[in-house]
Amino acid sequence: MITACLIGHARSCAPVGVLLTPLADASGAGEAAKKVAAVVVALLAAFAVVARPPWASERVRAGATVAALVLAPVLLGIDLWHNTQLVRLRHHPLQTSAGAVALVTLVAALAVLVARRPKALPLLAVFALPFRVPISVEGATVNLLVPLYVVVAAGVLAQALPQLLRASSVGSAVRARECVSDREPMSARRLMALGRSPRGLEILLVASVVLYAVQASYSGDFSKALENLAFFYVPFALLFALLRDVEWERELVLACLAVAVALAVVFAGVGFIEYERQQLFLNPKLVQANQYGDYFRVNSVFFDPNIYGRFLALVMVALAATVLRAGTTRRVLILAVVLAWLWAGLLTSLSQSSMAALLLGLIVLAAWQWDTVTTILVALAVALGGVAVALVAPTSAHLGLSGEGASADNATSGRASLVSGGLSLFADRPIQGYGSGSFALQYRVHHDTTEEVSVSASHTIPITVAAEQGIVGLALYVALLVSAFAVLLGDAGRSPPRMALAACFAALVLHTWAYADFLEDPATWALLGIGVALARASVRSALPAGSSRALSVDTTGTGPGKGLATAPA
């Protein structure tokens, strides 16, 4: 919607339309130009995240941030120039202009709010995180996080415009002196330490974005890769930077959790209404599946029951961490009632991947709160009990392992075939893969199928990464996970908020292994952005006052964090 309004409005302006039309209509040269532009946009987003003094001033970083924010949707609009929806908007310039004006006004109003009240940004981001708007693109429906895009745009403008309009930045000069130690030679030990640091995690994140853009250049489905860059990778990288730069006080963390819990409670209530009426508000294909299935799955305001279940599971893990530090019996009882409500909502989604994610998140919290060895033994006992149920009563468990049509593929809702097909694609091109965003296309080509919905991904992120990006992308993915857990878990025992983030991230990663969407999910970037901010605050609070090392820790110029990392929540 945002892209359509902006590009449609640009087309109604004759000079801009004259410039854009050749890029959209050209074949060879135009495609090459779009691929180069995609890499440039990814580099701008990466620069916006990792740039810091002395290598770049705050003004330059702000300019790169705004450029990435603007160029990503423009580039996507050029690629979708002949899309039916854009053509319709171009034929109605008055309505398109009105929509663009309304959109810009909303972003400007939120930017003013964020500039005056910086703590409103994380609250708005958490509130907008789950809301997806279904939009038709070339006959297919994509669910875009339009409210979150508006919040990201407002946050970027609120932070970047003052820097762009400022003649000089004293803070930049100070941070330039603080980071002199980064000019030291990069030894092997220092490189390994960097990988375990917040700075290393930032570099791996933006490296993933840039690599995805580079590998899109030889993808058989460049348009799909470009959609992922413009809709997910670039705006979510900017979201990461915005949340990383927030001064996370205890009250702000609790306020954000309260927003997420309130949304989850409401979403669960919507799910209960759907279950009671046996009717869904969204996704007619799921309605059809419910009609022919032995059970009824709800999706609340989400398009997919698994995404709905993922959101509930992450909120429940965060809430469970709060229960462990609730303090009073009254608080524990209130939180327990909320958890029971959300658990009932999760059951109506019948998302097995979300239930497994919830279990892992709780295991991480249990190991932190009590004894790690005991927790592992109990978890293994629960897992063995689940396997026993599956073997003794597979029909009652609805696992698809017995009866007519019993197979591993039926038990996993088609995932077994997708995984085996993805492994075959990886074996064909193990080094570079088939290119970003190409899994669905290559799977259909190699397996002679026209089924598009179930082939949107392998439903196992490592397999999708291996098939699309080869060993290079897979190695970067593994390094990113290792660095993320090192940052989130490093010295997190003193910090309940950091431990909650680590447990949520573990649950999210497991869910991506059984479903899809890792860097395509804003929750990943939000958790890591907050985690990096708290990790830096923890390091600074642990160092002696006036320590020279303390000056080189904050490599992004973020705020002091006010010691949240050691404060109970």
Angle between helices 146-165 and 93-116 (to 10 degrees): 60
What is the pLDDT at residue 488? 93
Number of helices (H), then strands (E), in the chain: 26, 2
For 344-368, write each residue's pLDDT tens digit.
999 999 999 999 999 999 999 998 8
Residue type, 2: I
The Cα–Cα gap between 30 and 23 comes to 5
Q: How many CB atoms lie within 10 A of CB 295?
A: 8
The SS3 call for residue 432 is coil
The Cα–Cα gap between 204 and 226 comes to 20
Sequence-ordered list of residues with C-beta below 8 angstroms from that of 20, at least 6 positions apart, any chain: 7, 10, 11, 77, 78, 81
The Cα–Cα gap between 214 and 434 comes to 12
Sequence-ordered list of residues with C-beta below 8 angstroms from that of 459, at least 6 positions apart, any chain: 414, 415, 418, 419, 514, 515, 516
What is the pLDDT at residue 193? 67
What is the pLDDT at residue 177? 38
User: Peptide bond before 54: cis, by omega within 30 degrees of 0?
Assistant: yes
Tokens of 462: 């490592």
> What does each C-alpha distance from 336 to 256, 272, 330, 360 come to in angstroms?
19, 19, 10, 19
144 φ, ψ to 5°?
A: -105, 145
Q: How many CB atoms lie within 10 A of CB 385?
A: 10
**How far from chain centre, in Å, is Cα 170?**
33
What is the pLDDT at residue 149? 96
> What does each C-alpha distance from 381 to 82, 376, 388, 506 come to in angstroms?
57, 9, 10, 20
Q: Which helix (H) or strand (E) holds 540?
A: helix 522-542
**What is the full DSSP assignment across 51-119?**
--TTTS-HHHHHHHHHHHHHHHHHHHHHHTTT-HHHHHHHT-HHHHHHHHHHHHHHHHHHHHHHHH-TT
The Cα–Cα gap between 384 and 509 comes to 22
For 268-310, write each residue's pLDDT tens digit.
999 999 999 888 887 767 766 666 566 788 988 888 899 999 9
In this prediction, the residues of the chain whose per-residue pLDDT falls under 70 are 1-28, 82-87, 89-90, 136-141, 167-195, 284, 287-294, 389-414, 448-458, 540-569
What is the pLDDT at residue 116? 94
Tokens of 115: 């500039």
133 φ, ψ to 5°?
A: -110, 120
